[in-house]
Structure 1
Amino acid sequence: MAERVNQLKEEVTGLFGACKNVTEKLNLVDTLQHLGIDHLFEEPIATTLSSIHNTEFNSSSLHEVALRFRLLRQHGFWVSADEFNKFKHEDGSFVNDITDDPKALLSLYNAANLLTHNEGPLEEALLFARRHLQLIQSNLKSPLDEQVGRALKIPLPRNLKREEAISYIHEYNVQDEMYNASMHELAKLEFNRLQRVHQKELKAISRWWKDLYGDIKLDYARDRIVECYFWSYSCLYEEEYARSRIVLAKLLKLISLLDDTYDEHATLEECRVLSKAIERWDERDVSLLPEYLKKFFLKVISTFREFDELLEPHEKYRSAYIRNAFQNISKRFLQEAEWSHHDYTPSFNEQVNVSVKSAGGESIAVGLLFGLGGIATKEVFEWAIRDSDTVRSCGEVSRFMDDMADFKRGRNKMDVATSVECYIKENNVTGEVALAKIASLVDDAWKTLNQELFEHRAILPIVQQVTNFARSMMFLYHDKRDGYTNSKEVKDALENHYVKHLPI
């Protein structure tokens, strides 16, 4: 199979040189992204998009203009929203005839979802495209019907690349004017090849979890190792990132155990003692802990020691960063426990300042950086822990999506008040108004994440990988469901990722 994959990669690489114009190049890059095989062609894609960005583009096709806009912005190239002015009347409204072109509307909608702050024209384009797509969706034929449906649930720039690929590989067929049999075969072979890699990792990490769970015996904890692996896999699914993927999944599972302990079981005094022991990071402090937490604490220390053993000598400085990330999230959990046990409802800003940091943005960033190669320098670790806009905005997406799901479900008696509840109390509004406000904050966070693509082009792959965590939250918590706690809601989707092979 490896020989066939290499042969297909050569054939597809040749397509870049065979493109006759900018439009063909855009369609090639877009198709590779939809099929989930763009990681195999990073260099020619980067060269192609750089050339497109520096080439004047005069097209009367809204689809083509929007496609260029989206692809360039996704890859950190700034493109002005003025590109869409040619499709508007003098008063700024879009011309009517584009409402009869669903493909163009979908392209406009996905492009407009890459808006940044203070881009009013793109806000208007987004509302315009969404409204008209909703009106015409029932009249569309397959596969455009399904593609519009997916985008209206989670816009393409906010969706997981691997999740989109699963759908698009099935939809891509010879009726498509851009169909290429080599790309289609390569996409299926590569998906199945990577799936086998992920299956092996899942088996290994499941054994690790089974041993750990059997040893520490924290029966109140959620048994969610597959979901923790899914988070790490969502951030970086490519084969070469195995070390990062495994470390991040284990880190997230330890954080989940810690969260369940503070949230569901420990007394306030036990929370304080555990937090102090984690802060001191000294195995001798185990004697201060209640009996049921002693093995857990020792397992945390030993697991972080195992993390350190994975590092090369010149990478050893990374251990301090991942340990500090765990200590920091423990402090946030303790603060939330203090509020809960004292039945204290914080102000909205007070709640958000703590809960956004307890949502895991810093831990995700440091955890995935921990196992990366040379691109993860000490300076990049410092960027990750200094509350960078990328990390904070991922924390905001995580927190607010989680809080909306919690509010819909109804929180447990020991849970701290969510941002939704704090907003209701502080502003004396209904739950519906509060949910709309929190949803708007998710949109604001995405505007910041979009802006970060241009602000940090030097570390663009890392910005994209950290942002993938926010994408995983959009997937797991879509429509106010909690796909982590109630994993049955995403069971079929997880089987598509890890169990079901694609027929060749």
Structure 2
Amino acid sequence: MSLPLSGVPSSSPAKKTSPNAERRSAIFHPTIWTDYFLKYASDSNSMSFEGVVEERSDRLKGEVRKMLTSAIDKPSQKLNLIDQIQRLGLAYHFESEIVEQLEQIHRSYFEFHCGNNDDNLHTIALLFRLLRQQGYNVSCEIFNRFKDSEGNFSKSVFANVQGLLSLFEACHLSYCSDDILNDALTFTITHLESIDKRKVSPNLEKQVSHALNHPIRKGLPRLEARHYIQFYQEEPSHNEVLLSLAKLDFNSLQGQHQKELGNLTRWWKDLDIKREFPFTRDRLAELYVWMLGVHFEPDYEIARGIVTKMMVIISILDDIYDVYGTLEELEIFTEAIERWDVDAIEGLPECMQVIYKIIFELYDEIGYELTRKGRSYRLFYAKEAMKIQVRAYLVEAKWFHKSHIPTMEEYMPIALTTIGNQMAFVASFLGMRDIVTKDTFDLLLSSNHKIVKASKVIGRLMNDIAGHKFEQERGHVASSVECFMKQYKVTEEEAKKEIRKLVADAWKDINEELRHPTAVPMVVLMRIVNLAGAIHAVYEDETDHYVNAGTNFKEFVTCLLVNPCQCDGFEEQV
């Protein structure tokens, strides 16, 4: 199906823009990947070898399924097994089994809670985290047993590094009212940062160091699975079946993701980005990895393709509004998107006409697929999300051109849109199956839904802290850091401190919205959670690694899309 275009002539002729308009430059560094992933666009693996790998993988999955469903006397064993399966990146193969096991554990929660496991901090913290991840409203008072008569954590847990690490991870599932977990987070960080390295194994020390910077709740799922595979392999008591399956699965998925990025690279080259948009960020591989953080599973290939292409366009539009366009041009361009009229771009600079046509071609492509699958209603939401996006971009452009520093109350509603999370949600759900309904899209376009707003707050504020210095140097609209400093007359570090608190509160809002029963299926809500977690990786150490893609993001891409796991002689071919 072709996208219906308006045949109504523009109400006012587009004004010709000056070819000599002064253009700013952000001086983004060029891509470090160029055509590297093009080689994966065609399938080089033999079907017979893939069959061997699939057969071995199915056998191993059968063995893991038996482990999950078999009777175990000690619930702690089942909890540790589920945790290992999840952290190795295998949980998507065993969703129904894990749900069933956690339901059983939750039903016996009171007995377990009051039983003989009271003194095992690791087990209690793991029970708490796994159940809260699943949406069960477990009280954090479960940890009071580890406190003394004065309300402080007992000295007996100070040396329990594994228990402290598990408690640290559990703290990231806190709600707004969980003061116990707020205290526990500070307590665990203090003690984990000062552990006696002579009294713990080298592997546990490495896990602690990694966790303090990358909590389980906050990260790119596949990247964290890759790290945990290495940690798990070094555990003397590791299960060889789990480890072998994790490596095979990682390499199998990596092969699929490489092919997808290869095809996207071909599409990207056809756009001729370097020539058409020399001022923009050339970050296809990085965007693809970012979107892998939303959904990596094999079934979401179409969704990944749509959201990556859409976010490529959003990245270019962001740079057009921030760097390239004059205010007059941007007003005309925004009006053209609002009216969805391909004829309305006459008189705009060539790059704006090109991106406008790219948008229409992509929407045609998406519209055809949606109609073919009986989901044509979704295209309306995709168009509305794009209109909302450019409308907000224009407001920020006006602020910049007027040298206006808004109040936080004025800034946040606009900035929560320009960060692009809402567009990413809508785009990523376009290619999902019928579990995503019209009500889901209505929720995503609502500015008041708590989990959606919280994810946008995390994205916007972390981006602002990481990028505000670079953006102010190149000339950019004020960020929340500048807005907060001016409004409350505080220093930059004081502003950042308060903004970090807002990010922490947003995570608590997300955790609360995942409690049973949820208005939207958990599998859908987890895409919003995953994007929030991926944002922490992108802006780690308060650095914008998307703009400065030669450091952390290079490692992300290399780990996920270049280097396979070493696994029993299969690594050269899988």
Alpha-carbon offset, residue 451 of structure 1 = 0.9
Alpha-carbon offset, residue 174 of structure 1 = 6.8
8 Å CA contact 1:346–1:422 kept in 2: the answer is: yes
The letter of the residue matching 2:565 is: L
Q: Deviations over 1:358-396 (max 9, x none)?
A: 112211211111110010011111111112212111111
8 Å CA contact 2:310–2:427 kept in 1: the answer is: yes
Residue among 312, 323, 328 paired with 1:269: 328
Residues 381 and 427 of structure 1: CA distance in aligned 2, closer, same or farther (over 3 Å): same
Q: Which residue of 1 aligns with 2:103?
A: 50
Q: Deviations over 1:122-177 (max 9, x none)?
A: 10111111111111164443211121112211222112221211111112137443
Residue among 514, 522, 533 paired with 1:453: 514
Q: Output aligned runs, 1:89-488, within 5 Å.
A: 89-136=148-195, 138-139=197-198, 140-173=200-233, 175-177=235-237, 179-214=238-273, 217-311=276-370, 312-387=372-447, 388-409=449-470, 411-454=472-515, 456=518, 458-488=520-550
Query: What CA distance in whole angstroms lies between the structure 2 residues aligned with 1:383 and 1:41?
Result: 29
8 Å CA contact 2:451–2:513 kept in 1: the answer is: yes
The letter of the residue matching 1:112 is: C
Residues 292 and 384 of structure 1: CA distance in aligned 2, closer, same or farther (over 3 Å): closer
The letter of the residue matching 1:244 is: A
TM-score (normalizing by structure 1): 0.97
Query: What CA distance in whole angstroms lies between the structure 1 residues aligned with 2:225 and 2:146?
Result: 31
Query: What CA distance in whole angstroms lies between the structure 1 residues aligned with 2:376 and 2:335?
Result: 25
Residue among 64, 70, 94 paired with 1:12: 64
Q: Which residue of 1 aligns with 2:562?
A: 499
Query: What CA distance in whole angstroms lies between the structure 2 residues aligned with 1:272 and 1:91?
Result: 63
Query: What CA distance in whole angstroms lies between the structure 2 residues aligned with 1:391 and 1:48?
Result: 29
Query: What CA distance in whole angstroms lies between the structure 1 residues aligned with 2:165 and 2:519?
Result: 27
8 Å CA contact 2:451–2:510 kept in 1: the answer is: yes
8 Å CA contact 2:207–2:231 kept in 1: the answer is: no
Q: Which residue of 1 aligns with 2:55?
A: 3
Query: What CA distance in whole angstroms lies between the structure 2 residues aligned with 1:213 and 1:454?
Result: 46
Query: What CA distance in whole angstroms lies between the structure 2 residues aligned with 1:273 and 1:412?
Result: 27
**1:64 lines up with 2:135 in the alignment:** no
Q: CA-atom RMSD, angstroms?
A: 1.5
8 Å CA contact 2:75–2:105 kept in 1: the answer is: yes
Q: Output aligned runs, 1:10-49, within 5 Å.
A: 10-18=62-70, 19-49=72-102
Query: What CA distance in whole angstroms lies between the structure 2 residues aligned with 1:105 and 1:219?
Result: 50
Alpha-carbon offset, residue 344 of structure 1 = 0.6
Where is the helix percentage greater, Structure 1 or Structure 2?
1
Q: Does the residue aligned with 1:135 lie in a helix, a strand or coil?
A: coil
Query: What CA distance in whole angstroms lies between the structure 1 residues aligned with 2:209 and 2:446?
Result: 38
Unaligned segments of structure 2, at least 5 residues = 1-52, 568-574
8 Å CA contact 2:485–2:495 kept in 1: the answer is: yes
**How many aligned residue pairs are there?**
503
8 Å CA contact 1:364–1:466 kept in 2: the answer is: no
8 Å CA contact 2:408–2:480 kept in 1: the answer is: yes
Q: Deviations over 1:19-71 (max 9, x none)?
A: 33311110110000111111111010000001111102131211100000000
Moved more, 212-221 or 147-156: 212-221
8 Å CA contact 2:273–2:282 kept in 1: the answer is: no
Larger radius of gyration: 2
8 Å CA contact 1:137–1:149 kept in 2: the answer is: no
8 Å CA contact 1:113–1:157 kept in 2: the answer is: yes
8 Å CA contact 1:114–1:447 kept in 2: the answer is: yes
Q: Does the residue aligned with 2:476 lie in a helix, a strand or coil?
A: coil
Moved more, 448-457 or 369-378: 448-457
Over the matched positions of the two proteins, sequence identity in percent amounts to 34
The letter of the residue matching 2:99 is: A
Q: Does the residue aligned with 1:156 lie in a helix, a strand or coil?
A: coil
Query: What CA distance in whole angstroms lies between the structure 2 residues aligned with 1:367 and 1:485?
Result: 22
Query: What CA distance in whole angstroms lies between the structure 2 residues aligned with 1:41 and 1:127?
Result: 34
The letter of the residue matching 1:119 is: D
